[in-house]
Structure 1
């Protein structure tokens, strides 16, 4: 498992923000944290369960592509969990 640095997290956020636009980013991605990679899985934490589901359903393919470029390793699946599950 690889923990993402703050710079990697913010780089992924910035590229996603540029692609989805300010309104969608503020609505869905505000407060997201891209946390770690385990194999080809990227784990992220969003503000609540509904937002986490919306991000996974609508943006996981794009996030995986962006993360693969930023991290210089293949990311195939993005798992977004609500922050309430963060321990």
Structure 2
């Protein structure tokens, strides 16, 4: 298991913002934290359960591609959990 650095977390966020646009990013991704990678699974925390589910359902493949690029490591699965379970 590898904990992401703050720079890696922010790099993924910045690239996602550039792809989905500022308005969508602020609405959906506000407060997200990309936390750690285990094997090919990336774990992230979102502000609540509904947002976590929306991000996982709608953006997982895109996040996986961006994270793979930033981390220089294959990411196949993105698991987004609400911060409450952190």
TM range (shorter): over 0.9
Q: What stretches of structure 1 move > 6 A for 4+ residues in a row?
A: none
Measured in 2, the distance between the counterparts of 1:13 and 1:77 equals 17
Measured in 2, the distance between the counterparts of 1:81 and 1:27 equals 17
- For 1:41, the equivalent position in structure 2 comes to 41
Measured in 2, the distance between the counterparts of 1:10 and 1:79 equals 17
User: Which TM-score applies when normalising by structure 1?
Assistant: 0.98
SS at 1:73 equivalent: coil
Structure 2 residue 67 is matched with structure 1 residue 78:
no
User: Which TM-score applies when normalising by structure 2?
Assistant: 0.99
Aligned residues: 86
**Structure 1 unaligned spans of 5+:** none
- For 1:27, the equivalent position in structure 2 comes to 27
- For 1:16, the equivalent position in structure 2 comes to 16
Q: RMSD value over aligned CA atoms?
A: 0.3
**Structure 2 unaligned spans of 5+:** none
SS at 1:54 equivalent: helix
